[in-house]
Structure 1
Amino acid sequence: MSEKRVEDINPETVEKRLQDNEQFQLIDVRETNEYEEGHIPGIKLIPLSDFENRYQEIDPAKEVVMVCRSGGRSGKASDFLAANGYENVKNMVGGMLAWNGEVERG
């Protein structure tokens, strides 16, 4: 049995794919207060603190890119998804600290 692996994706690639209107799920696992301070437009918030209860909201048939502040929490959430049968999971390295694209507040 091959081990499921989560791929890294850099913020510039995520930004370009959003600009090109590519279809993928973008999930922010930070807490609500962090999300409200600034997030990628259109991203879905599922805080890591509630992730095990809500991860089924993510479609396993579609690619998913996980985001947090620096890449640590999203890495944990990505590993959790991979362990639960999700096969197309990417972790945005550097998280929002490395994001130079558009940001929404609130």
Structure 2
Amino acid sequence: MIAASGFTSSLLMVLIAFLLLIVIIAGLRYWRMWQVKKYTQFLSEAEFQQGIRTAQVVDLREAQSFTNGHILGARNLPYASLKLMYQDLRPDLPVYLYDQTKVLSVQAAKFLHQKGFQKLALLDEGYQKWDGKVKKG
């Protein structure tokens, strides 16, 4: 009976540690998103479409994904190349960023903000939920 009690207590400690780890990871994720929201707008599809004509629309996905379909008017600047090619963007104009799910967009916005870009916006649901005009090829 003592061995069973020790096992139960050890299992309980592992479960508590696991739950604590999940809470910490979730907390860090929400804190990071809160930080990004200080300098970035998260736009719905309708809001994104409304500003496309006055913004630099950047597709952060790789070239193959871009070729398979992208938002009409977007230019491809893969996230992997952003740190080398961000100077191709004008800091005085709004920059609208999107990728498949917005994970890369958040990272790109953080980088661009550090480089002095002030007018940053992300497609909130990412390209995967986009229903607007697209271009292939």
* TM category, shorter: 0.7 to 0.9
Instruction: Identify the match of residue 76 of structure 2 among 23, 35, 45.
Output: 45
| C-alpha displacement of 1:16 | 3.1
Q: What TM-score does the superposition give when structure 2 sets the normalisation length?
A: 0.69
Q: Deviations over 1:14-44 (max 9, x none)?
A: 12334xxx41111111000111111011101
Which residue matches 1:14? 48
Q: What TM-score does the superposition give when structure 1 sets the normalisation length?
A: 0.88
Distance 1:15 1:60 in 2: 20
Q: What amino acid does structure 2 have at the position aligned with 1:10? A: S
Which residue matches 2:33? none
| C-alpha displacement of 1:10 | 1.3
Compare CA radii of gyration and give the structure with the larger one: 2
- Give the unaligned 5+ runs of structure 1: none
Which residue matches 1:5? 39
Residue 70 (1) aligns with residue 101 (2)? yes
Distance 2:40 2:114 in 1: 10
Q: RMSD between aligned alpha carbons?
A: 1.5
Which residue matches 1:35? 66
Q: Deviations over 1:33-85 (max 9, x none)?
A: 11111101110110001110000111000111101011111111111101111
Q: What amino acid does structure 2 have at the position aligned with 1:58? A: L
Which one scores higher on RCO, CA 8 angstroms, separation ≥ 6?
A: 1
Range with greater deviation from structure 2 (82-91 or 6-15): 6-15
Which residue matches 2:3? none
Residue 86 (1) aligns with residue 98 (2)? no
**Identical-pair percentage:** 24
